[in-house]
């Protein structure tokens, strides 16, 4: 295949810039839902083309068509001007198209290296599958990408953000000339985002056409040269990024001006509902016990929102897991609810005590993809209701309808399988499911990951309302503006230890970043026996 030079002249050329891929008049239905109606898109070599739109707008569906996941659609896809119909993902890969999917597609039982080269072992190792060779190649690739991961580590033991890095490495290993990235940064730390942006810049400079999907508008404006906006499965606009500002993009996406999220009334903190003292968590690994967090202490009052910040892997999620009893490790320290010490050995006990956790990993921990919205929302309650002989289908449907209404979940019906909802709407179902348990303490891990601007503001307002109703809320977010908007105080973690708690007056993006940066000279969190 011939490589086309990067187009730097833009529209200046008389016959327009080179197009490496074009999609024309694409329509796609899922049963009664028109996911895409007559959408067209063209890609130029060397451009970063942002694809934007609210949850359910059709972005992922369009990309799955371009990458051979869906072969059943109307319209035409052409590469280098020749119409082509992929028979499947491998076919699209052979044509030079790679995709980083929004939902992770890794095999948890396999190592990082095996996942990266899955299905292509022979390409790198000759005729025999050679574990050592693939591990070495993976190691070199990860190093080149600046990703600190052990190629031998089992993917299932990695955090979501780390898995996302594996997914990225996997796509990049294919040396595609068209690279589709569907929400690649949703679980990455700021430093990892920066590294990825540098890689994207290098790829684009070498002529790769990149489609970039993200709900983070600032990120998109910074990266992309052109943007296409979809709304309700239809094409709204395609423009040079330089010709649009943030408001114009948002208006194109939602079709109306958005009201700013209201602010939260912040009263003085009352008595602590949840007190945590010297909390620690160690997990088993190859070398014995590894300390994940140590020395975490805070109080959380009714109506208060505590933000938890820090880099990926700094122990933020582990704090919530240790409180919720859902970690597979050993915990230490003391947890009190309303001043009474409690031992929380399992999520079931946590729930009984009125604690709810919305995890960051909705695919494996939050959501049953095959089950309906109703079943998902009612799930945590089923045990409790049934025990009292109270399980009622109509009651469950009522809960599901409440969740759909309160959170603005876009669906055809509450009996629809959760897996057929768009990514952001799936996240809303997870939140709805936990709210249905009417908790007193709500733990949120990246609650707006992958959620569009409109829905994000709805979720912020919801969090404020819940705090106003007296819930004690702890929320982890990698997005600093989100943390600053939501939190009354912000606890910052560095390498498993609490570095400090910023008051609202002290907190700023800069202050958080400064606290969150690992200190030079401090030893990395070592594998050491837990006391």
Ligand X SMILES: Nc1ncnc2c1ncn2[C@@H]1O[C@H](COP(=O)(O)OP(=O)(O)OP(=O)(O)O)[C@@H](O)[C@H]1O
Residue 58 lies near ligand X (rule: CB under 6 A): yes
Q: Which of 7, 18, 60, 477 binds Mg ion (CB under 5 A)?
A: 60
Residue 56 lies near ligand X (rule: CB under 6 A): yes
Could you tell which of ligand X, Mg ion, none binds residue 53, using a CB distance below 5 to 8 A set by kind?
ligand X
Are 78 and 37 contacting, i.e. CB atoms less than 8 angstroms apart? no
165 vs 159: CA distance, rounded Å: 10
Residue 164 lies near Mg ion (rule: CB under 5 A): no
85 vs 106: CA distance, rounded Å: 26
For ligand X, the binding residues in 423-442 under the rule CB under 6 A are: 423-425
Are 136 and 96 contacting, i.e. CB atoms less than 8 angstroms apart? no
Of 3-11, 55-63, 104-112, 130-138: span binding ligand X (CB under 6 A): 55-63
For Mg ion, the binding residues in 70-129 under the rule CB under 5 A are: 102
Q: How far is the CB of 165 from ligand X (least distance, A)?
A: 20
Of 142-150, 244-252, 416-424, 452-460: span binding Mg ion (CB under 5 A): 416-424
Three-state secondary structure readout of 344-358: CCCHHHHHHCCEEEE
119 vs 90: CA distance, rounded Å: 10
459 vs 428: CA distance, rounded Å: 9
Are 448 and 435 contacting, i.e. CB atoms less than 8 angstroms apart? no
Number of residues that bind Mg ion (CB under 5 A): 3
254 vs 452: CA distance, rounded Å: 10
Q: Which is nearer to ligand X, 35 or 357 (CB)?
A: 35
**466-470: long-range contacts, CB 8 A cutoff, minimum separation 24:** 466/435, 466/442, 467/264, 467/303, 467/304, 467/305, 468/264, 468/265, 468/303, 470/302, 470/303, 470/440
Tell me the H-state helices in 176-268.
190-205, 217-223, 246-254
Q: How far is the CB of 331 from Mg ion (least distance, A)?
A: 36
Of 39-47, 122-130, 417-425, 436-444: span binding Mg ion (CB under 5 A): 417-425
Query: For the chain, first and last CA: distance in Å?
Result: 60
Q: How far is the CB of 214 from Mg ion (least distance, A)?
A: 10
Could you tell which of ligand X, Mg ion, none binds residue 33, using a CB distance below 5 to 8 A set by kind?
ligand X
For ligand X, the binding residues in 22-41 under the rule CB under 6 A are: 30, 33, 35
Q: How far is the CB of 237 from ligand X (least distance, A)?
A: 16
Q: Which of 7, 23, 43, 61 binds ligand X (CB under 6 A)?
A: 61
Q: How far is the CB of 349 from ligand X (least distance, A)?
A: 33
Q: How far is the CB of 66 from Mg ion (least distance, A)?
A: 13
Residue 366 lies near ligand X (rule: CB under 6 A): no
Residues in Cβ contact with 514 at an 8 Å cutoff, skipping those fewer than 6 apart: none
Q: Which is nearer to ligand X, 425 or 477 (CB)?
A: 425
Q: Which is nearer to Mg ion, 102 or 214 (CB)?
A: 102
DSSP character for 90?
A: H
Q: Which is nearer to ligand X, 374 or 422 (CB)?
A: 422
Nearest to 48 by CA among 80, 13, 7: 7
Q: How far is the CB of 258 from ligand X (least distance, A)?
A: 16
Tell me the H-state helices in 5-69.
59-66
Of 57-65, 140-148, 169-177, 381-389: span binding Mg ion (CB under 5 A): 57-65
Q: Which is nearer to ligand X, 307 or 424 (CB)?
A: 424
What region, left, alpha or beta, does residue 110 occupy, with left being phi > 0 and alpha being psi -120 to 50 degrees?
Answer: beta
Residue 214 lies near ligand X (rule: CB under 6 A): no
Residue 65 lies near ligand X (rule: CB under 6 A): no
Could you tell which of Mg ion, ligand X, none binds residue 18, using a CB distance below 5 to 8 A set by kind?
none
Q: Cα–Cα distances in Å, from 297 out to 104, 326, 497, 526, 529?
A: 33, 19, 10, 21, 21
Q: Cα–Cα distances in Å, from 25 out to 22, 83, 253?
A: 10, 13, 20
Neighbours of 25 (CB within 10 A): 14
Q: Which of 420, 437, 448, 498 binds ligand X (CB under 6 A)?
A: 420
- DSSP assignments along 366-403, one per residue: I--SSSBHHHHHHHHHHHHHHHTT---HHHHHHHHHHH
For ligand X, the binding residues in 71-110 under the rule CB under 6 A are: 102
Could you tell which of ligand X, Mg ion, none binds residue 439, using a CB distance below 5 to 8 A set by kind?
none
Q: Which is nearer to ligand X, 102 or 115 (CB)?
A: 102
Q: Which is nearer to ligand X, 30 or 143 (CB)?
A: 30
Are 435 and 380 contacting, i.e. CB atoms less than 8 angstroms apart? no
425 vs 103: CA distance, rounded Å: 13
Residue 59 lies near ligand X (rule: CB under 6 A): yes
Nearest to 236 by CA among 250, 247, 252, 221: 252
Residue 331 lies near Mg ion (rule: CB under 5 A): no
- Residues that bind Mg ion in the complex, under the rule CB under 5 A: 60, 102, 423
Which parts of this chain interact with ligand X (CB under 6 A)?
Answer: 30, 33, 35, 53, 55-61, 102, 420-425, 452
């Amino acid at each position: 295949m011939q490589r086309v030079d990067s187009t730097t002249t833009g529209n200046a050329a008389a016959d327009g810039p080179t197009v490496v891929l074009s999609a024309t008049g694409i329509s796609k239905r899922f049963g009664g839902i028109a996911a895409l109606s007559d959408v067209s898109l063209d890609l130029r070599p060397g451009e970063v083309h942002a694809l934007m739109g609210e949850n359910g707008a059709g972005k992922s569906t369009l990309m799955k068509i371009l990458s051979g996941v869906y072969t059943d659609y109307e319209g035409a896809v052409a590469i280098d001007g020749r119409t082509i119909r992929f028979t499947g993902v491998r076919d699209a890969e052979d044509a030079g198209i790679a995709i980083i999917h929004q939902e992770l597609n890794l095999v948890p039982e396999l190592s990082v290296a095996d996942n990266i080269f899955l299905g292509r072992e022979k390409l790198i190792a000759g005729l025999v599958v050679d574990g050592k060779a693939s591990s070495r190649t993976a190691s070199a690739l990860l190093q080149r990408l600046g990703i600190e991961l052990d190629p031998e580590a089992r993917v299932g033991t990695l955090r979501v953000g780390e898995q996302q890095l594996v997914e990225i490495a996997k796509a990049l290993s294919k040396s595609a000339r068209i690279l589709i990235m569907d929400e690649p940064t949703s679980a990455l730390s700021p430093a990892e985002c920066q590294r990825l942006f540098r890689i994207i810049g290098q790829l684009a400079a070498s002529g790769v056409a990149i489609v970039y999907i993200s709900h983070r508008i600032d990120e998109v404006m910074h990266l992309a040269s052109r943007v296409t906006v979809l709304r309700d499965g239809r094409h709204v606009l395609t423009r040079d990024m330089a010709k649009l500002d943030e408001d114009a993009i948002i208006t194109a996406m939602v079709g109306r001006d958005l009201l700013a999220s209201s602010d939260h009334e912040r009263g003085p903190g009352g008595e602590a509902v949840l007190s945590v003292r010297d909390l620690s968590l160690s997990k088993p690994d190859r070398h014995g016990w590894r300390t994940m967090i140590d020395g975490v202490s805070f109080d959380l009052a009714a109506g208060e929102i505590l933000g938890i910040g820090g880099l990926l892997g700094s122990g933020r999620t582990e704090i919530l897991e240790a409180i919720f009893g859902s970690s597979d490790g050993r915990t230490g320290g003391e947890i009190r609810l309303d001043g009474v010490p409690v031992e929380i050995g399992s999520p079931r006990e946590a729930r009984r005590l009125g604690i709810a956790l919305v995890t960051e990993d909705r695919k494996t921990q939050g959501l049953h993809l095959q089950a309906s919205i109703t079943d998902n929302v009612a799930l945590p309650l089923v045990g409790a209701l049934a025990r009292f002989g109270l399980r009622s289908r109509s009651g469950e449907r009522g809960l599901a309808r409440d969740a759909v209404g309160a959170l603005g979940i876009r669906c055809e019906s509450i009996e629809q399988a959760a897996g057929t909802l768009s990514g952001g709407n799936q996240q809303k179902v997870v939140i709805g499911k936990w709210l249905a348990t009417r908790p007193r303490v709500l733990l949120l891990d990246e609650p707006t990951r992958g959620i569009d601007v409109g829905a994000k503001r709805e979720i912020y307002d919801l969090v404020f309302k819940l705090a106003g109703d007296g819930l004690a809320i702890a929320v982890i977010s990698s997005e600093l503006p989100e943390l600053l908007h939501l939190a009354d105080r912000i606890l910052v973690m560095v390498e498993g230890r609490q570095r400090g708690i910023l008051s609202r007056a002290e907190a700023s993006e800069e202050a958080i970043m400064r606290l969150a940066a690992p200190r030079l000279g401090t030893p990395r969190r070592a594998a050491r026996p837990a006391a």
